[in-house]
């Protein structure tokens, strides 16, 4: 396991290749650098004798090599790669740290809590009567950015619902926005991700996910379900809009720009939870690095709370000078 690696250790183990970059040495030979992972964390690697085959991202290989030091941090120096013999994904199946049953019960409670029959009927049908429950419970919310683990979609959704409940105790949201519409947007904004990602290690995108991503897929499901139950068109269209606009802008993958305050609310709650947790997730799984790359940003892995505590402890033990 990554968390157990020791300097100088010889290894023969399976790893998931999460990032692979190639280059050319001064001797004009091709090499590769990148990141390996298992469910315990991640570590950088180098492979100097790359040969004709480049390791594929989101693929598990049997690695033979050793643990060396690079810029003060451990790295795996790969000597050989081989196809993986085992088909067991247990060592790569990172799962939610929360109870699936408890999170699912919360989601069901939020569905029962809709004031409007329109929202309650559509939500209940999508979650319970169209056969989507199992996929919703086990799917990741992403392959890399945030909640990239089994049960990640359920965790992301249930915690966003909790956030909405808290925010709607504030009068400036409660009095200005429709809670049912906001809660519906939060419950279903990523619903289609169960079709967008494979369930195997690495959570590669499916062909369907590449051709019809989760936003239009979910909107289509909502649109059809609303029509099945005779939901008025204007309500149906608002329900679809909070899903279609939840990435905020066309440039970020939304088919439409935000056109209602409820759509803006859903977008920002999603960013608050997904983006912040994405940082925390990457920091928590980067066991050997002082900083890491997350999307297009560099993240410091040392938590500020630890920095603050260390400074306070140092000040408390430092003798004060007397005049």
Q: Which pLDDT belongs to residue 164? A: 95
pLDDT band at 143 (very low <50, low <70, confident <90, very high): low
pLDDT at res. 242? 96
SS3 content of the chain, % helix, strand, coil (to 5): 45, 20, 35
The residue-averaged pLDDT of 181-185 equals 97
- Least Cα distance to 194 among 115, 136, 150, 276 occurs for 136
66: enclosing H helix or E strand: strand 59-70
Give the mean pLDDT of 36-58. Answer: 78
Q: Enter the DSSP assignment of 287.
A: T
Task: Give the percent of the chain with pLDDT over 70.
Answer: 83
List the beta bridge partners of residue 197.
205
CA–CA separation, 204 and 200 (whole Å): 8
Distances (CA, A) of 19 to 16, 37, 43, 85, 187: 9, 10, 10, 21, 31
Within 98-151, where are the H helices?
100-112, 117-124, 133-138
Top-confidence residue, 69 or 281: 69
Average pLDDT estimate for 223-243: 97
Query: How far apart are the C-alpha atoms of 183 and 189, rounded to whole Å?
Result: 10
- Higher-confidence residue of 181 and 252: namely 181
What is the arithmetic mean of pLDDT over 169-179?
95
The two three-digit tokens of residue 55, written as one number: 């390791």
For residues 214 and 217, the model is more confident at: 217
For 27, counting Cβ atoms within 10 Å of its Cβ (0-12 exposed, 13-18 middle, 19+ buried), the class is exposed
Q: Which of 71-75, 189-193, 284-288, 310-314 has the highest mean pLDDT?
A: 189-193
State the pLDDT confidence band at 14, using cuts at 50, 70 and 90: confident
CB 90 within 8 A of CB 34: no
pLDDT at 92: 66
For 252, half-sphere exposure in the C-beta direction (CA atoms, 13 angstrom radius) is 10
pLDDT higher than 90, residue 206: no
Strand-pair category, 30-38 with 41-47? antiparallel
Please tell me the predicted confidence (pLDDT) of residue 38. Answer: 76
In this prediction the pTM is 0.71
Q: Is it the case that residue 301 has pLDDT exceeding 70?
A: no
pLDDT at residue 24, rounded to an integer: 84
If one counts every other C-beta atom within 10 angstroms of the C-beta of residue 198, the result is 16
Find which of 121-135, 287-301, 309-323 is predicted with most confidence, using mean pLDDT. 121-135
When mean pLDDT is compared across 99-113, 141-155, 279-293, the lowest value belongs to 279-293
Where is pLDDT greater, at 235 or 272? 235
Q: What mean pLDDT is predicted for residues 142-158?
A: 75
- The per-residue pLDDT for 248 is 85
CA dihedral 222, 208, 60, 83 (to 10 degrees): 150
Please, what is the average pLDDT of the chain?
83
Q: Reply yes or no on whether the pLDDT at 292 is more than 60.
A: no
* Calpha distance 262→178 (Å, rounded): 7
Token pair, residue 170, equals 């504030």
What confidence score (pLDDT) does residue 141 get? 65
pLDDT in tens, 97-128: 788 899 999 999 999 999 999 999 999 999 98
Q: Which two tokens stand for residue 184?
A: 């519906």
User: What tokens were used for 315?
Assistant: 């000040």
The alpha carbon of residue 229 and the mean position of all alpha carbons in its chain are separated, in whole angstroms, by: 33
């Amino acid at each position: 396991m990554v968390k157990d690696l020791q300097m100088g250790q010889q290894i023969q183990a399976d790893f998931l290749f999460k990032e692979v970059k190639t280059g050319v040495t001064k001797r004009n030979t091709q090499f590769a650098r990148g990141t390996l992972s298992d469910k315990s964390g991640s570590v950088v690697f180098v492979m100097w004798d790359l040969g004709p085959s480049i390791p594929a991202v989101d693929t598990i290989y049997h690695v033979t090599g050793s643990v060396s030091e690079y810029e003060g941090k451990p790295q795996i120096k790969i000597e050989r790669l081989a196809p993986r013999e085992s088909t067991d994904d247990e060592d790569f199946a990172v799962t939610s740290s929360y109870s699936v049953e408890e999170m699912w019960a919360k989601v069901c409670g939020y569905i029962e809590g809709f004031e409007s029959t329109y929202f309650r009927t559509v939500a209940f049908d999508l979650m319970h009567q169209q056969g989507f429950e199992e996929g919703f419970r086990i799917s990741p919310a992403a392959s890399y950015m945030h909640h990239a683990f089994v049960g990640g979609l359920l965790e992301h959704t249930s915690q966003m619902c909790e956030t909405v409940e808290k925010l709607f105790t504030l009068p400036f949201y409660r009095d200005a926005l429709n809670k049912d519409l906001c809660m519906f947007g939060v419950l279903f904004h990523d619903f289609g991700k169960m079709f967008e990602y494979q369930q195997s290690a690495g959570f590669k995108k499916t062909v369907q996910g590449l051709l019809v991503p989760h936003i239009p897929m979910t909107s289509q499901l909502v649109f059809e379900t609303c029509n099945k139950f005779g939901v008025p068109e204007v309500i149906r269209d608002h329900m679809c809009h909070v899903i279609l606009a939840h990435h905020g802008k066309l440039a970020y993958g939304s088919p439409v720009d935000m056109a209602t305050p409820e759509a803006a609310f859903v977008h920002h709650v999603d960013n608050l939870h997904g983006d912040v947790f994405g940082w925390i997730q990457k920091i928590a799984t980067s066991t050997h690095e002082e900083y890491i790359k997350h999307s297009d940003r560099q993240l410091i892995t040392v938590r500020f709370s630890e920095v603050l505590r260390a400074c306070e402890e140092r000040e408390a033990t430092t003798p004060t000078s007397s005049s």
